[in-house]
Copies of this chain bind each other. A is one copy, B any other.
Amino acid sequence: MAEPSLVFPAQEFRGRVARLQGEMKTRGLDALFLTTAADIFYVTGFLTRFWESPARPWFLIVPAVGSPVVVIPSIGAALMGRTWIEEIRTWDAPHPEDDGVSLLVDTICSLLPETARIGVPMGLETHVRMPAADYQRVAQGIAPRALVDGTDAVQRVREVKSEAEVEAIRTTCAIAGRAFARVAEFAFAGQPLDQVFRDFQTALLQEGADWVSYVAGGAGPSGYADVISPAAAVPLQRGDVLMLDTGAVRNGYFCDFDRNFSIGPPSDTVRKAHDALWQATEDTLSTLRPGMLARDAHRLLSEALHTHGARPAGGRLGHGLGITLTEWPSFTPLDTTPLREGMVLTLEPGAVVDGDRILVHEENIVLRADGVELLSPRAPSALPELS
């Protein structure tokens, strides 16, 4: 495996760094300090499932001027060496007394003046992926340089996808679309839901997913009580609505959409709720535009659900999507993030069917100057029946 491990040409990553540096200048930041798999993949192209091990922290400094520098465990040096990053500093992790802290402090102090303000993603939908005690040691070690809120500088760049990113997400959506088209092969009355989940993951892999980071769903006679549970060994029954939702991954980019199926003919109640979800999505696909706010997407979907006779479920009705299963913004009544051309988003209306039972419906889109372009193959207007 000696070939470069870049998903994209180096020019793609240089463009990202240039856009981050533009935001830094606007916001008076001298650098960004990044620690998560997503942020580090975004800048470097370093793609590995090794993040699944919580043992080691990984650090990336993106200065406002100049090239990014990574400070990483030596186990990652070979793979990082095949990305476009040239400045790679390593230590032997995990180290019980000094797990990269002094190397990171030295690196920051050598790169940045004492007056430096260093942005760290510390706002909504972020976390710092390193030991909290070491984060404090770094803050003290680099003083008077200051760690300040860099959430906006990162999110305003990452949320607008390049055409290469849109194409990557479209590819993953197509993989999931092909797997959804095969659900009748493995989902039918009498089949336990946990086996359906396994077979769905297999179908996603067979259709080209590199791995399947997320599968959820549910099944029940008037929908499902929640949409995040793992599957139990409960057989599907005639009259159930089965929902499968996936975040499959190809080349580091996610899809995130679901599909519903009726086991045997659906009840009138279920059919009406599904029709309302489909129509509300259809309406919003034709009305959503750049320049609106995230809360406007919530309003459009909620109003369309009411128009079509459904009661909107609680929670957000869509969100960003890309190198994590979900990204900001959130389609809630409170989120005022401007929707911009190039954003990849999910439309995810939910409707209350009966008591605590809901149906959800989801598509993936990219916002274009003149409206919405679908990335997921559009769900059929009529709820599909399985035997």
Q: Which A residues lie at the B interface, using CB under 8 A?
A: 1-3, 5, 36, 38, 47-50, 52-57, 74-76, 78-79, 92, 94-97, 99, 120, 122-133, 135, 149, 193-194, 197-199, 201-202, 205-206, 209-216, 218-220, 224-232, 234, 247, 314-316, 319, 324-328, 330, 332, 334-336, 356
Other than A1-B218, A49-B215, give 4 A-B pairs with Cβ distance below 8 A: A48-B216, A52-B247, A96-B332, A127-B131
Q: Considering the chains assembled together, what is the distance between the CA atoms of A76 and B1 in angstroms?
A: 42
Knowing A131-B122, A228-B48 touch, does A74 contact B314 (C-beta < 8 A)?
yes
Among B1, B129, B206, the residue within 8 A (CB) of A232 is B1
Are B332 and A75 in contact, with the CB atoms below 8 A? no
Contacts A74-B315, A127-B130, A315-B92; A55 near B330 (Cβ below 8 A): yes
Chain B residue with the shortest CB-CB distance to A194: B210
Q: Indicate if the CB atoms of A225 and B122 lie closer than 8 Å.
A: no
Measured in the bound complex, the distance between the Cα atoms of B323 and A53 in whole Å is: 11
Given A3-B234, A48-B228, A324-B53; A202-B206 close (CB under 8 Å): yes
Asked whether, in the complex, the Cβ of A5 is within 8 Å of the Cβ of B232, the reply is yes
CA distance A226 to B74 in the complex (A): 10
Contact yes or no, B131 A229, CB < 8 A:
no
Protomer copies: 2
- Determine the chain B residues whose CB is within 8 A of the CB of A335 once the complex forms: 94, 96
Q: Interface majority SS on A: helix, strand, loop or mixed?
A: loop
Q: How far is the CA of A228 from the CA of B2 in the complex (A)?
A: 13
Q: CB distance A220 to B54 under 8 Å?
A: no
11 intermolecular pairs with C-beta atoms under 8 Å apart: A1-B234, A2-B225, A36-B54, A54-B125, A55-B328, A55-B330, A74-B315, A78-B229, A95-B332, A124-B131, A127-B131
Contact between B125 and A128, CB atoms less than 8 A apart: no
B94–A52 contact, CB under 8 A?
no
C-alpha gap A199/B205 in the complex (Å):
8
Q: Are A334 and B97 in contact (CB under 8 A)?
A: yes
**Chain B: minimal CB distance from A207 (Å):** 10
B96-A336 in contact (CB<8A): yes
Bound CA span A92–B99, Å:
37
Cβ–Cβ contact A229 & B52, under 8 A: no
User: Are B50 and A228 in touch, CB under 8 angstroms?
Assistant: yes
Bound: A213/B53 CA distance, A: 10
Q: Which of B79, B94, B97, B214 contacts A228 (CB 8 A)?
A: B79
Rounded to whole Å, the gap between the CB of A362 and the closest CB of chain B is 13
Known contacts A133-B122, A202-B205, A319-B55: does B216 contact A92 (CB below 8 Å)?
Answer: no
| A214 and B316 alpha carbons, distance in the complex (Å) | 30
A210 touches B234 (CB 8 A): no
Indicate if the CB atoms of B1 and A225 lie closer than 8 Å: yes
